[in-house]
Amino acid sequence: MNSNNEPIQPDDNSTKTTRRRGEVLENALLQAAWDELNELGYNEMSMDGVAARAQTNKNALYRRWSSKSELVIAAIIKYVPRPVMQAPDTGNLRDDVLTFLLQITDTIQLVGAETVFGILADHGDRAIVSSLADFKEKVQDDSLNVIMRDILQHAVERGEVKPDAIRERIVSLPFDLIRYEFLIKQQMLTTETVTEIIDYIFLPLVLSVRH
C-alpha cells in the first residue's frame, strides 16, 4: 500500500506512540501467551501468534524465554494462582481432606491435559531447565503430600486415626488418582469423583489400619 518507508500519518491509533519495555511488555507477552494457550491449546498456538497478539514479534519472546515450553510454563506460573498450601481445619478428617482436594482440583483444571502433554513432550528430550521445576511443583507437587500429612496428623491428635505409620503411598493416593483422572482419563474432576475417592478409597484405608 505504502510505497515509501516513512510513515505518512501519525497513525490515528492513539496508543501507537509508546514503545513498551521491561515489565510492561513482559506482562503483555505473558497475557498473550496465556490467551493463545486457552483459545488454541498448546499444539495449535505458535510463537508468531503470541507475538502478533501482543503486537510485537518473536524476538521479544525469545529474549525472555528460550523456547515455547518455557514461555507457556511462565504463563502458567503467572496466571494459575498458587493454591492455599495450608491444611484446612474443619474439625474432622473427611471434611479436611475434601476441602483440600477440591481446592487443588480447581487449580489443576486451569491447565489442560493437552498442555501438560505438550510441555512434557517438548521438554522430554532436553535437560531439565530452570522453570520446569516450578512447573512440576504445580502439576506433580510433593508439597501437596506435606499438607496431606498435616491433615492426617491433626486427625491423629483428635483420635480419629491411629498413630500407626501411614504409608506414603496412601498419603499420596488421593492426588495420584486425581491426576490420573485428569491427565490420563482426561475427565473433568467433579465433586462426585473426589468424594468417591475419599469415601471409598482413602478413608477406608486410613481408618482401618492394620499393622
Partner DNA sequence: TATTTAAGGTACAATTAGTACCTTATTTGA
Partner DNA sequence: TCAAATAAGGTACTAATTGTACCTTAAATA
Which of a copy of itself, DNA, none binds 47 (CB below 5-8 Å, type-dependent)?
A: DNA
CB 22, CB 64: distance < 8 Å:
no
Q: Is 185 in the site for a copy of itself (CB under 8 A)?
A: yes
CB of 22 to DNA, least distance (A): 5
> Which of these segments, 19-27, 54-62, 154-162, 175-183, binds a copy of itself (CB under 8 A)?
175-183
Q: Which of 107, 113, 83, 87 is nearest to 98 (CA)?
A: 87
In the range 27-46, which residues lie near a copy of itself by CB under 8 A?
41-44
Quote the CA–CA distance of 26 and 54 in Å, as a whole number. 10
Q: Is 210 in the site for a copy of itself (CB under 8 A)?
A: yes
- Please enumerate in sequence order all residues whose Cβ is within 8 A of that of 74, keeping only pairs 6 or more positions apart, or say none: 30, 33, 64, 65, 131
In the range 57-96, which residues lie near DNA by CB under 7 A?
57-60, 62-63, 66-68
Q: Is 118 in the site for a copy of itself (CB under 8 A)?
A: yes
CB of 100 to a copy of itself, least distance (A): 19
CB of 44 to a copy of itself, least distance (A): 7
Quote the CA–CA distance of 159 and 155 in Å, as a whole number. 6
> Which of these segments, 43-51, 107-115, 165-173, 192-200, binds DNA (CB under 7 A)?
43-51
Quote the CA–CA distance of 211 and 202 in Å, as a whole number. 17
Which of a copy of itself, DNA, none binds 82 (CB below 5-8 Å, type-dependent)?
A: none
CB of 72 to DNA, least distance (A): 10
Quote the CA–CA distance of 194 and 97 in Å, as a whole number. 10
Quote the CA–CA distance of 195 and 202 in Å, as a whole number. 10
Quote the CA–CA distance of 84 and 96 in Å, as a whole number. 13
- Applying CB under 7 A, which residues contact DNA? 17-22, 25-26, 44-48, 55-60, 62-63, 66-68
